Amino acid sequence: MTYSENLNELLAIAREAAAAGAAVLAERDEVAPAGLPLEATSHGIETKSSASDFVTDFDKRAEEAVRQVITARRPHDVISGEEYGTTEVTEPSGYRWSIDPLDGTTNFVRGIVYYCTSVAVQDPEGEWIIGVVQAPALQRIWWGARGIGAYTARGEGEPVAITGPKGELNSGLLATGFGYDPARKAQQVESVGLMNEHFGNIRRLGAAALDICLVADGTQDAYAEYGTQEHDWAGGAVIAEEAGVPVRRPASGDGADQPDWCIIGRIGIEPQQLKPTPRA
């Protein structure tokens, strides 16, 4: 199999896996009509790092659905997921999948439509080569593959190539997010203030993968957030790169113990001006 054929196969599997996860999330409408908030006692809503860091039965079932697709087609690939960690495989191929079954869990719980399933692939050399993000409530999908470009589609519509912000609007939009730790959040607020001088306004959607995709397709102009986990940015970062957008990934995938800045696009200041200072 040629490199191109392998890449196309991986992309097809990634799209199938993201669709499987998104299909689980789409079941939300069956249990919470009209987009109302979920009932905690009915859907296994628990907390992780803080009282506002949620995990639900949907997160777990969506990750299981994503894993089933990947494992059936690529049994020797390692899978790293938000809910079930990293799997060990016999005779590993060298490829690793990073999945976030439900990015934007707080939005999902409260009935805010910005949530998605994100799937990414890293090759044996450590390069990120595939990214797929699917948002069922928005009926949108974004995808990208190394050297192939980046695309988006709505519903069953035709794919449209995306090439990042055009710079045609007078008021640029900066996307960001905030962690759960109060001290870390205070530092982030200070840095956002520095960046804000170079933008017309700020958006905080609550789903890093979607924020990154919306920079990739030009809806937003830049994204910067501190302390995100690998599964938050992995898929979207590939899509942004393939759309021609500058990408600075965190130095570590561990946003909890080794937090760092994820920067997509041009933020108007040098990264070293941010607080905390980005890792080397």
57-68 b/e with 16+ CB inside 10 Å = b? ebbbbbbbbbbe
How far is Cα 237 from Cα 234, in angstroms, rounded to an integer?
A: 5
Residue 221 annotated as binding? no
| Residue 254 marked in a binding site | no
Contact 150, 235 (CB under 8 A): no
Is residue 7 classed as helix, strand or coil in its secondary structure? helix
SS3 of residue 135 by DSSP: strand
Give the whole-angstrom CA distance, residue 224 versus residue 146: 23
Q: Is 100 annotated as a binding residue?
A: yes
Query: What value does the CA radius of gyration of the chain take, rounded to a whole number of Å?
Result: 18
Cβ–Cβ under 8 Å, residues 118 and 132: yes
State how far the Cα of 199 lies from the Cα of 176, in Å rounded to an integer.
12
Q: What is the C-alpha to C-alpha distance for residues 93 and 67, in angstroms, rounded to an integer? A: 16
The response to whether 53 counts as a known ligand-binding position is no
Classify burial at 151, counting beta carbons within 10 Å of its beta carbon; exposed 0-12, middle 13-18, buried 19 or more: buried
Q: Report yes or no: 141 and 134 within 8 Å, Cβ to Cβ.
A: yes
Residue 232 labeled ligand binder: yes
Residues making up the annotated binding site for Mg(2+) are 82, 100, 102-103, 232
Residues of each annotated binding site: 82, 100, 102-103, 232
